[in-house]
């Protein structure tokens, strides 16, 4: 069974190394993070020239990798053989070559740390991958669900020793989306500009990432929730004037998720802050926003809004056979939602 990336990283940072690592999945962030930690830690800097080998799948084959794996380290405790883009490794799809990998993985050299980085999902039922798992570690790096991103950002900031406000989290997630590498890069961009005791707030996000604290999806969603037509139309006009940075598709997804949670708020039997937060999968800080939206949007109206969003998505994609500018769709959508 594949191990979680967090557990693998914790073990590596504690210098508990396996002779085999098979990293795969559709989220490159953890694959790259684990590979970087192994590069940093397995072989001391003074020994890297003789005992660390970074190979690329398109430039070598199974036989080449195994020849490196079977050599002994030069005057050192261990060596690292790291294969990037291993899914492009010559012969990797051939049964004969997979058997050779299985044979090595069934009896790996204890002084070698062999790492395969697959930048795609692999079939863990294959015998050679099972052998990697039996005598080493298989780690699957899965794309994170959007509703888990705020929690992930908060956890990442905590691990970096910096506080971040719920509003700053929402601004970052709504504008950057499900790209963990970019999320970490943008957060670190803010961190290097902060004072040692300073946290990340909405002002810091606006200043160092360039996300407007007034004209962003979070504020747009809030204006709609308040049924504030003036503010919602003003933000919609800003989005239309800056459509390259504010495309309609992700806005519709965010609004759909929000109003789906408004419906859940209506349906939830546990109306306590803790109970609703668990039901909605959100930080308790935001429960008041959903309660407020639920008061402004009775269940039937919230269901209608969901339908309006689906219709806007279909029309944006031209499924009704008519091409409509995104700016017109957004303007019409604001009217339908609020009125």
Question: Of 141, 158, 188, which residue sits at a domain end?
Answer: 141
Same-domain pairing of 193 and 229: no
Question: Of 99, 117, 141, which residue sits at a domain end?
Answer: 141
Same-domain pairing of 118 and 170: no
Same-domain pairing of 119 and 13: yes
> Tell me, what CATH number does 296's domain have?
1.20.272.10
Question: Of 99, 118, 141, which residue sits at a domain end?
Answer: 141
Summarised one tens digit per residue, pLDDT across range 261-276 is: 999 999 998 888 889 9
Total structural domains in the chain? Answer: 3
From the number of C-beta atoms within 10 Å of its C-beta (0-12, 13-18, 19+), residue 13 rates as exposed
Reading across the β-sheet that carries 52-56, which strands appear in turn?
Answer: 52-56, 79-84, 112-117, 20-25, 137-141
Same-domain pairing of 198 and 312: no
> Tell me, what CATH number does 188's domain have?
1.10.8.60
Same-domain pairing of 150 and 132: no
Same-domain pairing of 117 and 29: yes
Same-domain pairing of 172 and 72: no
Same-domain pairing of 111 and 22: yes
Summarised one tens digit per residue, pLDDT across range 233-262 is: 999 999 999 888 889 999 999 999 999 999
Same-domain pairing of 156 and 110: no
Same-domain pairing of 221 and 320: yes
Same-domain pairing of 123 and 172: no
**d(Cα 24, Cα 55) in Å, to the nearest integer?**
16
Question: What DSSP letter does each residue of 149-176 carry, written as one string?
Answer: HHHHHHHHHHHTT--B-HHHHHHHHHHH
Query: What is the extent of the structural domain holding 247?
Result: 217-338
Same-domain pairing of 165 and 111: no
Q: What is the pLDDT along the chain (339 residues), one digit of tens a residue?
A: 667 898 899 999 999 999 999 999 999 999 999 999 999 999 999 999 999 999 999 999 999 999 999 999 999 999 999 999 999 999 999 999 999 999 999 999 999 999 999 989 999 999 999 999 999 999 999 888 888 898 899 999 998 899 999 989 988 998 888 889 999 999 999 999 988 889 999 999 999 988 888 899 989 999 999 999 999 999 999 999 988 888 999 999 999 999 999 999 999 988 888 899 888 888 888 899 999 999 999 999 999 999 999 999 998 988 766 678 899 999 999 999 999
């Amino acid at each position: 069974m594949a191990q979680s990336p967090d557990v693998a990283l914790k073990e590596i940072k504690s210098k508990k190394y396996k002779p085999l690592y098979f990293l795969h999945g559709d989220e490159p962030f953890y694959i790259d993070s684990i590979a970087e930690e192994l590069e940093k830690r397995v072989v001391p800097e003074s020994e890297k020239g003789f005992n660390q080998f970074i190979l690329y799948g398109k430039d070598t084959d199974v036989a080449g990798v195994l020849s490196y794996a079977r050599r002994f380290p030069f005057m050192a405790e261990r060596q690292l053989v790291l294969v990037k883009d291993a899914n492009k490794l010559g012969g990797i799809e051939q049964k004969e070559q997979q058997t050779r990998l299985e044979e090595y993985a069934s009896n790996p050299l204890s002084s070698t740390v062999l790492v395969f980085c697959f930048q795609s999902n692999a079939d863990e039922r294959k015998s050679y991958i099972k052998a990697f798992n039996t005598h080493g570690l298989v780690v699957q790096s899965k794309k994170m669900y959007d509703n888990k991103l705020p929690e992930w950002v908060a956890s990442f900031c905590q691990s970096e020793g910096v506080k971040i406000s719920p509003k700053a989290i929402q601004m970052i997630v709504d504008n950057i989306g499900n790209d963990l590498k970019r999320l970490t890069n943008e957060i670190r961009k803010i961190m290097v500009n902060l004072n040692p005791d300073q946290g990340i707030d909405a002002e810091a996000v606006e200043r160092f990432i360039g996300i407007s604290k007034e004209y962003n999806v979070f504020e747009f969603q809030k204006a709609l929730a308040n049924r504030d037509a003036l503010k919602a139309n003003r933000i919609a006009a800003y989005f239309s004037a800056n459509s390259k940075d504010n495309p309609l598709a992700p806005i519709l997804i965010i609004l759909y998720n929000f109003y789906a949670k408004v419906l859940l708020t209506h349906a939830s039997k546990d109306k306590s802050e803790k109970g609703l937060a668990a039901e909605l999968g959100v930080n308790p800080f935001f429960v008041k926003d959903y309660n407020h939206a639920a008061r402004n949007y009775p269940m039937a109206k919230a269901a209608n809004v969901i339908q309006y969003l689906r219709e806007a998505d279909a029309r944006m994609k031209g499924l009704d056979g008519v091409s409509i500018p995104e700016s017109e769709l957004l303007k019409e959508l604001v009217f339908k939602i609020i009125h």
